[in-house]
Amino acid sequence: LEPGIKTYNALILACSRDGDLAAAEGLLQQMKVAGIRPSEYTFGTLISMYVHASQPKQALKTFAAMVRSGVEPNPVHFTSLIDLYSRGGSGEGLAKADKIYSMMRQRGIPPNEVTLSCLIDACARVDDVDRAFRYYQEACEAGLAPSDASHNQLIRICTTADRVDDALALVKHMVKRHGQIQEPALDSLVRALSHKHVEKAVRVFRLLQALKLEGTNLTLRHLVHACAKGGYPDEAHGFYRDLKARGSSAGPRAGSSLLRALCRAGRAHQALDVWAELRREQCWPAPRAVLDVIAACAKGNMLPQALGILEEFRAEPAWAELLEPGLEEPVGNLFDALINRFCFAGQTAPALQLYDAYLSLSWDSDRRRAAEGQAPHGGLARPALKLSMATLAFLESCCARDEAHAHRAFDVRGEMRRYTERKRQAAADMPRKISHHFDEEEAWLG
């Protein structure tokens, strides 16, 4: 018995599954010799085989041979070629996929769901949102009712390209038609919205929860950070509690933002609770967040807690970050406030403990500036990190009245003299402006 078209098709399919391209091509030649005309299934199997082998030239060559033989291409043939070129992630690949799609439309062949998915995926790889919507519109006009999967693809590409309004419109459309929105699509939309549209991000996340979807821990961290930065401490703290309920950590970025938001809102006790949880997780917040927590404790008359956090901070490598540009003034103001509060409370010992911490940091600042060439004349430039003279005077008087620490009054006076000398030296270094009247007088006398 001579093998027929079904036998050859089955053998070519088996070779395709095994990735044996040479054997499949040999069977095609045997068909031609035997005078058996390949069917659309034969060509479809071969095109699919070349697509999986990432051989676009052979795939196109087979497609062209199919057309020449009089076999009419179907949506599967076109979709296979579109899929092949959509994987490249380049504008050139998208252009070739678009050309094949145009050939498909010219022949009056409507796209199917897989075709639309491949086209949108090709657009997503090069962030071409407008073209993706064009394909979507043309598919709808051709009679295709795009599935939820296609809508979710569009939501993701809009989110990636920061087209959040378009993404929100698609979400509303799917909600109205009771479509099944995929969690990754909504999740990515929430994260995109959180950068600029905090309230919308919260609403979309509530929609996600209403759909019995959880959202990822990464999205919750984005919401904690965004709500804290946007002035919504209640929402930020709520999302933080959701993270904790899942057994997950907020991380240094979201944790720092939450601490600063709680401190700005005057919620020192909540800030302390969050601080304790972050430290148990071995998570160290940003220096500005630590300073805010210390300041909030001091303002709330929780002086022992403020001092404890400061001492804990001194043991961390991040302590050196307080010398970074832009932090000298807030750090100096913080030491001013803390020392004054302890002095008012009659607690000279902790006030001196803070003073010693300030001295260590101040001398480190001076050494850094000298190494960078910012302290001329033997390092007598005015210090970048300094206490106010009023604070030093107050501390000196407290030491003088306290017999146990009276000897430290000399140290504080020495620091005051250092300030005075540096201020005098800085004034002497300033170039003096010579009055123009001298030049006029010399010209008149001359």
Whether the per-residue pLDDT at 446 is higher than 50: the answer is no
Share of the chain above pLDDT 70, in %: 91
Rounded distance between C-alpha atoms, residue 232 and residue 172, angstroms = 25
Among 107, 172, 175, smallest CA distance to 142 is for: 107
Q: Taking phi first (over 0 means left), then psi (-120 to 50 degrees means alpha), and beta for anything else, what does residue 145 get?
A: beta
pTM: 0.65
CA dihedral 320→323→325→328, nearest 10 degrees, is 140
pLDDT in tens, 56-97: 888 888 889 888 888 888 899 999 988 888 877 677 888 888
Per-residue pLDDT, 203: 87
Instruction: Kindly report the average pLDDT of the chain as a whole number.
Output: 84
pLDDT in tens, 329-375: 888 888 999 999 999 989 999 999 999 988 888 888 777 777 766 55
Per-residue pLDDT, 178: 64
* Residue that wins the pLDDT comparison between 164 and 391: 391
Per-residue pLDDT, 434: 54
Whether the per-residue pLDDT at 140 is higher than 90: the answer is no
Rounded distance between C-alpha atoms, residue 105 and residue 301, angstroms = 75
Task: Kindly state the average pLDDT of the residues 383-390.
Answer: 79
Per-residue pLDDT, 376: 43
Maximum separation of any 2 CA atoms in the chain, in Å: 131
Whether the per-residue pLDDT at 175 is higher than 90: the answer is no
Per-residue pLDDT, 374: 58
Task: Kindly state the average pLDDT of the residues 26-54.
Answer: 87
For 236-245, 272-281, 426-435, which range has the lowest pLDDT when averaged over its residues? 426-435
CB 402 within 8 A of CB 346: no
Per-residue pLDDT, 177: 67
Residue 346: alpha-carbon gap to chain centroid: 47
Per-residue pLDDT, 383: 55
Whether the per-residue pLDDT at 382 is higher than 60: the answer is no
pLDDT in tens, 262-321: 999 999 999 999 999 998 988 889 988 999 999 999 888 899 999 999 988 888 888 888
Highest averaged pLDDT of the listed ranges 95-99, 156-160, 436-440:
95-99
Q: Which amino acid is at 417?
A: R
Whether the per-residue pLDDT at 379 is higher than 50: the answer is no
Highest averaged pLDDT of the listed ranges 260-274, 318-332, 408-422:
260-274
CB 208 within 8 A of CB 186: yes
Residue 307: alpha-carbon gap to chain centroid: 33
Rounded distance between C-alpha atoms, residue 434 and residue 441, angstroms = 13
Whether the per-residue pLDDT at 438 is higher than 90: the answer is no
pLDDT in tens, 185-209: 777 788 878 888 899 889 888 888 8
CB 386 within 8 A of CB 361: no
